[in-house]
Amino acid sequence: MKVHLPESLDALWDLLDQHPQAGIMAGGTDLLVSLRAGKQHLPTVICLERLAPLQTIEPLDQTLRIGAGVTLTRILENSLVHTHLPLLHKSVASLGSPLVRNMATLGGNICTASPAGDTLPALYVLGAKLSLASAKGRRILPLESFIQGPGKTALAKGEILDSVIIPFPAGFGVQHFEKLGQRNALAISVVSFAALIRTQDNLVQRARFAWGSVGPTIVRSPQAEKALEGNPLSLEALLRVADLARAAVEPITDVRASADYRRRVAGNMVLRLAAL
């Protein structure tokens, strides 16, 4: 297997043109495991870690643009993320171990397109958009349009994810993330849940929910969100929302949990909001 480490985008475009079947690596915490297990066989791997444009974090017009090659450790250490995007900070902190976060990148977690991807529920409710680049230029896609199924994305041949654009969630005083695994750390998610809630005069004005590991992609429920709006963030109101959440998810049974268990947990996580 040949490994290439381009140091400019022009060099990357040339390599992608010469090696259309190459694998793209931006950290390798998923790809290398898959290669070593024999699940993938790639003649060529192109690494993105030396591309400076993919390594920046910068604010722009009430958004934060995070390069796809930025490691999760750098995201956790960034003051803008901590101040303006605590929901993203919480989800990143739940992923792996410090050693994994030192290597894993935000772009890699997105492009793996796993239903259990720890950053994805948070990015969905935050309304993240993705900048996709190729030799022909750039295009912007909403995250929910980019991820098309387990391991499937809208990336075209010769195209990479170069950055993630995340709006600051102004006015959302409740930013909650929770993950259930089979152990307290280094666990693949059994169910994960992200919520943004804006309140005024003790009533919910706006709610955004997303669940991971309970469907082929991240699950949203506009019905559950609307059911909470106009109500206090009370257990009584959340019990109705929890029922709608259980109806919205499409979990499977696997080695980590049964579908019924995942469905119950997806609703129960909503009830935790009453204690916030």
Q: Which helix (H) or strand (E) holds 140?
A: strand 137-142
**Whole-angstrom Cα distance, residue 220 to residue 250?**
11
Give the model's pLDDT for residue 202: 93
Give the model's pLDDT for residue 31: 86
Give the model's pLDDT for residue 182: 81
Closest CA to 123 of 114, 113, 132, 110: 110
Phi, psi dihedral angles at 191 (to 5 degrees): -150, 140
Note whether 262 and 214 are within 8 A (CB). Answer: yes
How do the pLDDT tens digits run along the chain, 276 residues long?
Answer: 899 999 999 999 999 999 999 999 999 888 888 888 888 888 999 999 999 999 999 999 999 999 999 999 999 999 999 999 999 999 999 998 899 999 999 999 999 999 999 999 999 999 999 999 999 999 999 999 999 999 999 999 999 999 999 999 999 999 999 999 887 666 789 999 999 999 999 999 999 999 999 999 999 999 999 999 999 999 999 999 999 999 999 999 999 999 999 999 999 999 999 988
- Ranges of CATH 3.30.390.50 domains, the chain: 174-275
Superfamily, domain 174-275: CO dehydrogenase flavoprotein, C-terminal domain (3.30.390.50)
**Whole-angstrom Cα distance, residue 165 to residue 143?**
10
**Whole-angstrom Cα distance, residue 168 to residue 87?**
11
Note whether 133 and 9 are within 8 A (CB). Answer: yes
pTM: 0.95
CATH architecture of 50-167: 2-Layer Sandwich (3.30)
Phi, psi dihedral angles at 133 (to 5 degrees): -120, 145
Q: Residue 211 has which token pair?
A: 């669940």
- Ranges of CATH 3.30.465.10 domains, the chain: 50-167
Q: Which helix (H) or strand (E) holds 229?
A: none
